[in-house]
Structures are given as structure tokens and as C-alpha cells.
Structure 1
């Protein structure tokens, strides 16, 4: 049985993926100049569902970039090399010989930046015959389902987020971790770009006004606390975030562009296709300072 269509949209067809978050969108051609009315409905669908999978697209890199720019300035990844002709686009490629995949842990993009990405657009160029899905989780629900006492505690905490030398990787750099495991993902020196930032654990979404738990794999410890003091609380809030009832799963098809609100979600790229290739084109849109 097909998911019910949301009838508030006039230019799009929007069908929910799960009760917690996520929707499939049909009825728009992103290779063309999207009308202001359709763009407004796409923004509404994103704010309502947090993750939208726009199916059946056929886009060049230039067309994907033009669509992304309708949402804001493009956020360049400080550690990863973009495409030669389109440095704003990160080609995420996993070959059958690669052991590691890109994004294979729960996280929210660019959390280590002072102004993390507002959203991420991932466009499927080649997908495995099965597997390679992406999991998403609703960070509003992670906050809403806390007790009042824990909400009060959470609102007092600030996270220290880093872009490299993760504690979970025993202090190894991205270059060391990726070398020999991801053949086509090229690491660069971030130069003087700030890649360690402090953010509130409880963030207020700038468009919806709702509170949420803002946490992910870039969090190293809480500001003013030791690692030993921080880790049990980090573990608790991560478990709270990824409870099954807070999640959805996007199954990729070639030509799907999935756009997620980076401010109120985490995601996890599943590495379950060892003998096949997966090629995606990623663009991140600039965001604002969490508050």
C-alpha cells in the first residue's frame, strides 16, 4: 500500500517514508529552473519532514550546483578535495576494493565549523544492486522524549566538536584513516579554516523555533568537563538520538537527490555492499551559528 499523499502541496507529490521523519518527493525536475512556488513547497517539505528524497532526477553537476545555490551559499569541505571542475561538489566514491566508506558513523555534517552546514544534498550517480542505504534520525524527537529534569541538564551543556583526530579513531588524522581504505577520496590541508568549535547541546532551529539535541560523532567532550566526565553523557545522548522510533531509512536509486536538514538530523551511511561501486555527488549549503 502506498504511503498517503500530503495534500497541502499543489506542485509536488509528497509521501512520508516513516512516522518519525523523511518523505519521498515526486513531480519536480531539478535539471530545469524550479519555480518559486515549487521551491517554496520543497522548503516546506524539508521543514516538515527533515529529509526529502527527490526521485527520478537526471542532473549534470552544473544543474545540481545551480539548484543548491537557490538555497544559499555553498559550504566547502575544509578537509576533502572537491571535483576538479566543480570544487563545490564532493564526489563520494566507494569502489569494490575499498574497505571503508565515507560517512559510515552517526554524525551531522560540518558540526566542527563555527557555522555548520544548513543542509546537505546528495545525488546518486551509481548505486549498488542492494545496500548502500542512508539512515537518518530526528533530533527534535531526541529532545522531546527526554524527561523535564534531563532537558534542564541538557540545556546547560556545550559540546566541543572537532573535524580531525577523532578520539574514537585513537587520534588518527583523516589522512591516516583514509589512506589505503578509500582510494578516490582525497584529503587536503584545511589551512587556516576553523575546524574546532563549541556549540550548545540543545539547539533552537532558526526556522521552526523548535528545540533539539544537537550531537554527533564530531563531539569530543563537553566544554569545561573532562573526557571521563563527558563520555557517559555523550553515550546517553547518542543512544537517545538513534532510538529506532526516531529514525528512517532512505533506499537509494540512481537519479535520487536526497536533501536533509543538517540542523535537526543525524545520518549514517551503511557500508553493506563490499563488492560493488557507489558514486554520489554531495553539496552542502551554508548555515548559521547554533544557538
Structure 2
């Protein structure tokens, strides 16, 4: 293989030698996709590309989600995440888009509020601030592996309550006002099995509102404990963005969160999210003989 990889630390690898702006063979793409699923996160630098090529690359991973939120331009598969208008003027702090983006500062995986959450996300830097605006990543599977078997067995069979609207309410915001609709709460297994690699991992986020069948405060405390385990400092990769960088991650094995930045700086990112193929698969406790 003519491509080089280098570990990013706690999670992910950087790939060198693969130019996604040209024709990528089926064999090279299959290797890239396998690397993303195996590592959870892949970084490719110096990959500036037009929106249409970004969407086309996402389509090779699977059907892109149609993004009604944060969309700008004719293609509903590409979200433009930005804090400035077309003339370069910064949005006001109380602009609905800016208020909504603060929700992404909580640890989450993309589209967990859907029956079938997103599989992959392709995130590209178009304009970056002079400081701040980093994105942090953590591995749900490595956190699971860190649990003692006695702790793991207590988590099998539990379902987490994913409530995106509650995440807005906790910050004093109303989702319907900001984006024009509400999303009903739904449940996903707290322990999931990756459909391609077979690895087991937690499925938690800061957008969860408890555990099904558990007292509210008890459930929220368990979620907070598990999120803290996943995102402990030694398990987190912080990415400092440069223009042209592309990060591809597997939402079925990772969490991420945005970091704030001084709003006097412009930040423009392009985001394509790939639809999952099936609801999360609940992992079951191994049989004992």
C-alpha cells in the first residue's frame, strides 16, 4: 500500500499520499472506508474541494442524509456551518443558527435523534479562526473495553433516551423556535455492536436525557458517568483545524464536540453526513458455560 498512516494518539490516524480531489479507484476507496471503520477517525490534510465533490465523496460511503438544519445552497446533502453571512459579517449572538450551534459543544454522535443514526460524517475546513474552534473526538469502544466485566454486565439490555429537544431546553433554548420543528425523544441500546467490525461499544452522549425504566436522576447520573469515562482526557484527540483539512469519522464508534472560539473570527465548515443502514444493534452479554 502506497499510503502512509500515522496515529493521532488516543483515536484515529492521519493518512498521507491519498488525494481525494481526483479519481479514487475502487480499491483505494475500499481501503479508506475500512480504515475509517477500523480506526473510527481519519484525517487527510490539504484536500480543498468544491461542495459537489465533497457530496460525491460522501455518496461513496452511502446515501447522504438530507440536512434541513444549517443548510445553505442548492444541495440539501451539504451543511454549511458558519458564523458569518455571505458578505462576511458576523451573525448576532442571538441569531437562531448561532444559538443552535452551541448545542454541538456537548459530546454527541451525529443524528442519534433518528431511528437510524448517521454512519459516517465528512467534515471539511473552508475558513478557520486564528484561534479556537477545535473539534474533539473520543472512542466509544475503547471506553467499553476499559470497564470491568462486572460493570459491563450491568449495562447490557439498557436503553438510553436520546432527546435532542431536551438538549436545547437545558440551555434555555427552544428547538421549535430555532429550527422550526421538534424531535420526539427515542431510545437506542446503551451498548451497541458495530455492524461492520463487530466491536462492542457504549452508545451515550450529552444529548441523552436518561435511561429507559430508570428513575430520572439515577439515569442521568449513569449517563454522565459513562460520558465522563468515554471523554476522559487520556482518551480524547483534539483537532486544530487548518484550511483544506478533511476529517472523516464513524459515528457508530465515536463521540465528538465543538470548541468555542472568539466570534470576531470567521469559521466556515462543510459537512456531509451519511445515512446509516440499520438501527443500532444491541450487544448482548457473552454466554457463560
Q: TM-score, normalised by structure 1?
A: 0.86
Q: Distance in 1 between matches of 2:41 and 2:168?
A: 29
Aligned twin of 2:151: 150
Q: Report if the CA contact (8 A) 1:55-1:257 is conserved.
A: yes
Q: Report if the CA contact (8 A) 1:167-1:220 is conserved.
A: no
Other structure's SS at 1:258 match: strand
* 1:80-91 alignment runs, 5 A limit: 80-91=69-80
CA drift of 1:22 comes to: 1.7
Aligned twin of 1:111: 112
Other structure's SS at 1:45 match: helix
Q: Does 1:235 align with 2:224?
A: yes
Q: Does 1:189 align with 2:178?
A: no
* 1:54-93 alignment runs, 5 A limit: 54-77=44-67, 80-93=69-82
Structure number having the greater helix percentage: 2
Structure 1 stretch 273-282 or stretch 198-207: which is displaced more?
Answer: 273-282
Q: Distance in 1 between matches of 2:59 and 2:65?
A: 10
Other structure's SS at 2:35 match: helix
CA drift of 1:61 comes to: 0.6
* 1:12-161 alignment runs, 5 A limit: 12-18=3-9, 20-77=10-67, 80-95=69-84, 96=90, 98-99=92-93, 100=98, 101-102=101-102, 103-161=104-162
Q: Distance in 1 between matches of 2:65 and 2:76?
A: 11
Q: Distance in 2 between matches of 1:91 and 1:150?
A: 41
Q: Distance in 2 between matches of 1:239 and 1:167?
A: 20
Q: Distance in 1 between matches of 2:180 and 2:4?
A: 41
Q: Does 1:252 align with 2:241?
A: yes
Aligned twin of 1:183: none
Aligned twin of 2:287: none
Other structure's SS at 2:210 match: strand
Gaps of 5+ in 2: 85-89, 282-289
Aligned twin of 2:193: 204
CA drift of 1:47 comes to: 2.1
Cα deviation 1:227-264 (Å, max 9, x = unaligned): 12212111111111111121111121101111111001
Q: Report if the CA contact (8 A) 1:53-1:250 is conserved.
A: no
Q: Distance in 2 between matches of 1:250 and 1:66?
A: 24
Aligned twin of 1:4: none
Aligned twin of 1:184: none
CA drift of 1:168 comes to: 5.9
CA drift of 1:160 comes to: 1.3
Other structure's SS at 2:133 match: coil
Q: TM-score, normalised by structure 2?
A: 0.86
CA drift of 1:37 comes to: 1.6
Other structure's SS at 2:165 match: coil
Aligned CA distance change for structure 1 residues 98 and 203 (closer, same or farther; 3 Å)? farther
Aligned CA distance change for structure 1 residues 28 and 93 (closer, same or farther; 3 Å)? same
Structure 1 stretch 65-74 or stretch 156-165: which is displaced more?
Answer: 156-165
Number of residues paired by the alignment?
268
RMSD: 2.0
